[in-house]
């Protein structure tokens, strides 16, 4: 790396390796982040001091309330001695301090409520930092946190857990401005060759904040100042940092009154920045269609969840399972984060050297750093779930996890700046919003698992979830991450024509198929829970779901297979017909919509006579219920299968024949409405919703693959022979699913549909 840069108009040489104003700005950001994270991390240990459910509830006499609750909260550890200090005690300046009887779920709601506010302002904060500059945004956030923290004890005592939660939400709203504001400043102050060290150094405040916050919390909470003194300490400290930001913080080198022209030029040349881009509209369509952006978001989710588990749940784990007292708890919980802060310097230097020496590309450097942060953390979490709960073993393992996890700060966390220095704050606000939206569930999931906070087997589930997210989110990041500077980051003002061009996407068939199948990823998620919920809400006689009997029933398995065949064919047609109409038949988009809809209109209309005919056949006893269902199911699946084979041979360009064939394919599919779909009810009326939830979940999970397979097969969308393969495959699956149902399907009501008591009652009535 260059050590000196000489400019004719400068009096002396500018030393890149020397201290500069870019270092000063990162130092200020470091202090701001350290304070914010110290305040955030303290809450987990603070609750250990604030809550004691084992103390007896005592009546508060002449102390503003006349019973054992304040706004619905239960308070312990208050006696008549409280009255001796009168006014000072009412302000919580002198002991004894109240302790609250808050359940673990209430505590976790308080912990997670910070993130409800935190995620809400992420995207607006990025916009504000981009439009008005980060300096005033950060200053306002710090001053507001100062006031809220100082008043926090009064909110807890006089407002109960509800007002405590509200204060936490507002703190989250203001701290939402910090990370996007920092990233906006990094985009103006950190050259690529120093980005790992400068941004990594500033982001080290996350670790140091925990290092300082956790032991400070333990010592102050156990001192005469008590837990109220802890929040007042942070209120004063945050106010001081806010004043420093207001006095010395500067949005960009161009606005700094004292920076040398050499240092300013060095920064701006390596960033390729000027001030004209500040007036440019944010290219939302480009940002939101950038694969690298989504890789960052996924990685950010894994990191946020893991961090919250470490920050919020580890203090309780140390207290309830390992048995560490609150004073030692803060110190021991902080030790891993101290190691994290120290190793941060190594990873920051290491990644910069890999880039400067050209050992690895920027992209591979970010991927390596992220993997060093995630994979060891995932393995450590799994080990934490099984190793003996000895303080020395647990502490050593936590040190290893934290020491490596900091590497992600020079992985995905500064990847935003690589892709777009000009819009890095906006990109960070988006990824931070999504990650904290998901991350806010972390304490709630922990509360769901931890019905007994002293049970180490329940804690194992908490650590498994964190480990799984660390692993899978990093795998996705490794596949899709990029570090190339985006074209839309150009400093030239985009014209309206350019903006309009961005609205038409050059997406391959494979990408279109991923988008089409993505709906089903969410759709399948709640199928089985929805069936169970419906059964529990609307069955007058509640019976346990006979899961074993259901999954060992051959007729039910035949239902699953025929449902899979139906969904594969249906979603192939639903998602691929418009592309087929356009690419092979040459139908324009206006006519395309109408022609693609015509087959489904026919399907809707044909459903009425098929339903009537099915009931009529059963009523007249021409066929048994089972035979009737199989006949109409065969019409619904065999018919489309044969018609699809015919469709594959329709001459290219023959729109009329193609539409008629498609209409036949889809219209005949109406047979399944009175076929296998009704068999769920025939087999087990009491559990029909659960059965449908299971078959719909499995069949739609398979349906996710259908558009992806079509995308994999069709490399040339204009080639009819490739579309033929897609139609052949759907035909085969239609036939296999229906054949299995015809062999093993049954409409007889299953023995597990009713309990023995219900059967007895029915016989008695008869």
Which CATH number do you get for residue 401? 1.20.1250.20
Task: Give the range among 80-94, 128-142, 464-478, 737-751 with minimum mean pLDDT.
Answer: 80-94
Q: Which of 27-31, 122-126, 225-229, 504-508 has the lowest mean pLDDT?
A: 504-508
DSSP string, 269-291: HHHT--GGGGGSPP-HHHHHT-H
Last residue of a domain, one of 467, 485, 503: 485
**Same domain flag for 570 and 716:** yes
In this model, does residue 11 exceed pLDDT 90? no
DSSP output for 315-335: HHHIIIII---HHHHHHHHHH
User: Which residue in 390, 415, 377 sits closest to 294, CA to CA?
Assistant: 415
Q: What pLDDT does residue 590 have? A: 44
Q: 207: Cβ–Cβ under 8 A, 6 or more apart, which residues?
A: 37, 337, 338, 340, 341, 344, 402, 406
Residues 201 and 302 reside in one and the same domain = no
Convert 351-377 to b/e letters by CB count within 10 Å (16 or more is b).
bbbbbeeeebebeebbbbbbbbbbebb
pLDDT of residue 297: 92
Mean confidence (pLDDT) of the chain? 76
- Rounded to 10 deg, the angle between the 509-523 and 554-583 helix axes is 150
- On whether residue 692 sits in a domain, the answer given is yes
Task: With respect to residue 497, please indicate whether it lies within any of the assigned structural domains.
Answer: no
Task: Establish if 61 belongs to a structural domain.
Answer: no
Cα distances (Å, whole numbers) of residue 260 to 1, 250, 488? 20, 14, 30
Residue 103: predicted pLDDT: 76
Do 323 and 361 lie in a common domain? Answer: yes
Do 94 and 201 reside in the same domain of the chain?
Answer: yes
- pLDDT tier, 495 (very low <50, low <70, confident <90, very high otherwise): very low
Q: How far apart are CA 18 and CA 664, in angstroms?
A: 77
Per mean pLDDT, which range of 235-249, 633-647, 701-715, 736-750 is the poorest?
701-715
Domain final position from 451, 485, 519: 485
* Triad 339, 342, 348: Cα angle to 5°: 130
Rounded distance between C-alpha atoms, residue 123 and residue 141, angstroms:
15
**Separation CA 685–CA 678 (nearest Å):** 10
* Shared-domain flag, residues 419 and 466: yes
Kindly report, residue by residue over 355-398, the tens digit of the pLDDT.
Answer: 888 888 888 999 999 999 999 999 988 888 787 777 788 888 88
For 135-139, 158-162, 529-533, 650-654, which range has the lowest pLDDT when averaged over its residues? 529-533
Model pLDDT, residue 78: 44
DSSP-assigned letter for residue 311:
I
Q: Do 316 and 448 lie in a common domain?
A: yes
pLDDT of residue 595: 60
Please answer whether residues 699 and 560 qualify as being in contact, where contact means their C-beta atoms are separated by less than 8 angstroms.
yes
pLDDT for residue 524: 54
389 and 477: one domain? yes
- Collapsed DSSP state (helix, strand, coil) of residue 384: helix
State residue 370's pLDDT score.
92
84: number of Cβ within 10 Å = 9
Q: Is 138 helix (H, G, I), strand (E, B) or coil?
A: helix
Looking at the fold, whether 432 and 565 belong to one and the same domain comes out as no
Distance, CA of 567 to CA of 704 (rounded, Å) = 10
**Cα separation of 674 and 636, whole Å?**
9
Question: In this structure, is residue 731 part of a structural domain?
Answer: yes
Between CA 24 and CA 32 the distance in angstroms is 13
The whole-angstrom distance between residue 702's C-alpha and the CA centroid of its chain comes to: 24
Instruction: Verify cis geometry, omega within 30 degrees of 0, for the bond prior to 300.
Output: no
At 417-445, the pLDDT tens digits run 889 888 888 888 888 788 877 877 787 78
- Asked if 171 and 211 touch (Cβ cutoff 8 Å), the reply is no
The pLDDT confidence band at residue 53, using thresholds 50, 70 and 90, is low
What is the predicted pLDDT for the residue at 240?
Answer: 93
Q: Both tokens of residue 466?
A: 């964190």
Q: Answer whether residue 122 shows pLDDT above 90.
A: no
Rounded distance between C-alpha atoms, residue 421 and residue 272, angstroms: 9
Quick one: 463 and 565 in the same domain?
no
Q: Is residue 260 part of a domain?
A: yes
Lookup: tokens for 229: 């003194």
42 in any annotated domain: yes
Confidence of residue 2 (pLDDT cuts 50, 70, 90): very low
Q: Are the C-beta atoms of 632 and 617 separated by less than 8 Å? A: no
Please check the confidence at residue 3 and state whether its pLDDT lies above 70. Answer: no
Q: Select from 740, 744, 737 the least CA-distant residue to 641.
A: 737
Question: Cβ contacts of residue 739 below 8 Å, gap of 6+?
Answer: none
Q: Please state, in angstroms and rounded to a whole number, the distance separating the CA atoms of residues 691 and 556.
A: 8
Whole-number Å distance between alpha carbons of 277 and 286: 16
Please tell me the predicted confidence (pLDDT) of residue 762: 42
Please give the residue that has the higher pLDDT: either 503 or 596.
596
Band the pLDDT of 510: cuts 50, 70, 90: low
Q: Is residue 296 scored above 90 in pLDDT?
A: yes
Least confident window among 72-81, 118-127, 176-185, 370-379: 72-81
Read off the pLDDT of each residue in 10-36 and give the average, rounded to a whole number: 76
Which band of pLDDT confidence, cut at 50, 70 and 90, is reported for residue 702?
confident
* Number of residues that this document lists for the chain: 766
- Tell me whether strands 14-15 and 4-5 are parallel, antiparallel or unpaired: antiparallel
**For residues 127 and 426, is the Cβ–Cβ distance under 8 A?**
yes
* More confident call, 547 vs 497: 547
594 and 736 fall within a common domain: yes
The pLDDT tens digits of the residues spanning 304-323 come to 888 878 766 776 777 777 77
For 352, the token pair is: 């910069």
> What sign does the CA torsion over 297, 302, 303, 304 have?
positive
Highest mean predicted confidence (pLDDT) among 49-63, 275-289, 305-319, 515-529: 305-319
In eight-state DSSP terms, residue 494 is P
Element (H, E) at 99: strand 99-100
**Per mean pLDDT, which range of 206-215, 417-426, 566-575, 616-625 is the poorest?**
206-215
**Is the pLDDT assigned to residue 98 strictly greater than 60?**
yes
Structural Rg of the chain based on CA atoms: 32
Q: Which residues contact 537 (CB under 8 A, 6 or more apart)?
A: none
Domain end among 485, 505, 536: 485
Note whether 257 and 293 are same-domain residues. Answer: no
Domain interval for residue 579: 547-744
CB-based contact 52:76 (threshold 8 Å): yes
Tokens (6 digits) for 730: 């759907």
Alpha-carbon distance values, 54 to 51, 101, 325 (Å) = 9, 8, 15
Q: Which pLDDT does position 147 carry in this prediction?
A: 92
- In this prediction, residue 610 carries a pLDDT of 86
Please, where are the H alpha helices in 584-671?
589-619, 625-647, 655-668
Which residues, at least 6 apart from 273, have a Cβ–Cβ distance to it below 8 Å? 187, 188, 252, 267, 421, 422, 491
Mean pLDDT, rounded, for 492-502? 39
Highest mean predicted confidence (pLDDT) among 81-90, 287-296, 333-342, 648-657: 287-296
For the segment 645-661, the average pLDDT, to the nearest whole number, is 75
Q: 622 versus 311: which is more confidently predicted?
A: 622
Give the chain's domain count.
3
Tell me what pLDDT residue 317 has. 78
CB 741 within 8 A of CB 630: yes
8 within some domain: no
* pLDDT > 90: percent of the chain: 5
Residue-wise pLDDT for 174-217, tens only, equals 888 887 788 788 778 888 777 767 877 787 777 677 667 766 77
Q: What integer pLDDT is reported at residue 299 of this predicted model? A: 92
**Residues of the chain above pLDDT 70, percent:** 75
Residue 642 in any domain: the answer is: yes
Q: Examine the pLDDT at 1 and tell me if it is beyond 50.
A: no
Same domain membership, residue 718 and residue 657: yes
Q: HSE, CB side, 13 Å, CA atoms: give it for residue 597.
A: 6
């Amino acid at each position: 790396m260059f050590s000196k840069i000489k400019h004719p108009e400068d009096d002396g040489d500018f030393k890149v390796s020397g201290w500069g104003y870019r270092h000063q700005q990162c130092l200020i950001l470091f202090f701001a982040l350290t304070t914010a994270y110290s305040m955030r991390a303290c809450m987990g240990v603070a609750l250990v001091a604030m809550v004691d459910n084992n103390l007896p509830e005592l009546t508060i006499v002449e102390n503003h309330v006349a019973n054992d609750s304040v706004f619905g909260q239960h308070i312990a550890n208050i006696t008549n001695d409280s009255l001796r200090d009168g006014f000072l005690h009412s302000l919580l300046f002198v002991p004894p301090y109240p302790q609250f009887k808050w359940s673990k779920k209430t505590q976790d709601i308080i912990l997670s409520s910070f993130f409800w506010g935190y995620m809400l302002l992420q995207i607006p904060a990025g916009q504000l930092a981009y439009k008005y500059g980060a300096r005033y945004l950060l200053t306002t956030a710090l001053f507001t946190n100062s006031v809220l923290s100082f008043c926090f004890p009064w909110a807890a005592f006089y407002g109960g857990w509800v007002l405590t939660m509200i204060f936490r939400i507002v703190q989250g709203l203001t701290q939402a401005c910090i990370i996007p504001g920092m990233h906006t400043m990094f985009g103006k102050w950190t050259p690529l060759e120093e980005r790992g060290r400068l941004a990594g150094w500033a982001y080290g405040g996350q670790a140091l904040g925990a290092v300082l916050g956790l032991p400070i919390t333990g010592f102050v909470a156990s001192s005469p100042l008590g837990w109220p003194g802890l929040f007042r300490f942070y209120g004063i400290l945050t106010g001081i940092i806010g004043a420093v930001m207001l006095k010395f913080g500067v949005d960009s080198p161009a606005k700094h009154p004292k920076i040398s022209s050499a240092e300013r030029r060095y920064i701006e040349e390596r960033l390729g920045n000027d001030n004209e881009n500040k007036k440019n509209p944010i290219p939302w369509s480009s940002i939101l269609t950038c694969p690298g952006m989504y890789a960052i978001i996924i990685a950010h989710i894994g990191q946020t969840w893991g961090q919250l588990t470490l920050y919020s749940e580890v203090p309780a784990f140390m207290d309830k399972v390992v048995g560490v007292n609150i004073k030692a708890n803060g110190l021991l919980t902080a030790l891993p984060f101290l190691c994290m802060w120290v190793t941060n310097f190594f990873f920051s230097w290491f990644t910069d050297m890999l880039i400067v020496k050209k050992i690895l590309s920027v992209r591979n450097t970010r991927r390596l750093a992220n993997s060093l942060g995630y994979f060891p953390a995932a393995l450590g979490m799994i080990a934490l779930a099984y190793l003996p709960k000895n303080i020395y073993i647990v502490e050593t393992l936590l040190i290893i996890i934290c020491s490596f996890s900091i590497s992600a700060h020079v992985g995905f966390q500064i990847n935003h700046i690589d892709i777009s220095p000009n819009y890095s704050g906006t990109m960070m606000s988006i990824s931070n919003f999504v990650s904290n939206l998901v991350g806010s569930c972390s304490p709630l999931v922990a509360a769901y698992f931890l019905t007994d906070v002293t049970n180490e087997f329940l804690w194992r589930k908490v650590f498994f979830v964190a480990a799984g997210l660390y692993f899978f989110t990093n795998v996705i990041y490794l596949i899709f991450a990029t570090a190339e500077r985006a074209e839309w980051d150009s400093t030239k003002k985009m014209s309206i024509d350019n903006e309009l061009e961005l609205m038409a996407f050059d997406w391959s068939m494979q990408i279109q198929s991923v988008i089409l199948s993505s709906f089903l990823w969410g759709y399948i998620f709640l199928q089985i829970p929805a069936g169970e919920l419906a059964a529990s809400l609307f069955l007058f006689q509640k019976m346990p779901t006979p899961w074993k009997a259901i999954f060992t029933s051959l007729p039910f398995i035949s239902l699953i297979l025929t449902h899979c065949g139906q969904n594969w064919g249906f979603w192939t047609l639903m998602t691929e017909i418009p592309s087929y109409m356009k690419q092979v038949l040459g139908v324009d988009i206006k006519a395309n919509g109408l022609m693609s809809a015509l087959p489904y209109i026919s399907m809707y209309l044909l459903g009425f006579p098929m339903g009537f005919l099915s009931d009529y056949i059963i009523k007249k006893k021409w066929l048994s219920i089972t035979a009737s269902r199989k006949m109409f199911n065969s019409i619904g699946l065999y018919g489309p299968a044969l018609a699809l084979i015919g469709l594959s041979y329709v001459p290219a360009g023959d729109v009329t024949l193609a539409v008629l064939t498609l209409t036949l394919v889809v219209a005949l599919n109406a047979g399944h409405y009175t076929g296998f779909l009704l068999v769920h009810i025939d087999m087990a009326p009491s559990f029909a919703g659960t059965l449908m939830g299971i078959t719909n979940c499995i069949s739609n999970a398979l349906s996710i693959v259908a558009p992806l397979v079509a995308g994999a097969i069709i490399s040339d969308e204009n080639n009819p022979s490739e579309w033929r393969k897609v139609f052949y495959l759907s035909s085969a699956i239609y036939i296999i699913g229906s054949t299995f149902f015809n062999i093993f399907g049954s409409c007889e009501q299953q023995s597990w549909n009713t309990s023995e008591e219900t059967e007895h009652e029915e016989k008695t009535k008869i």
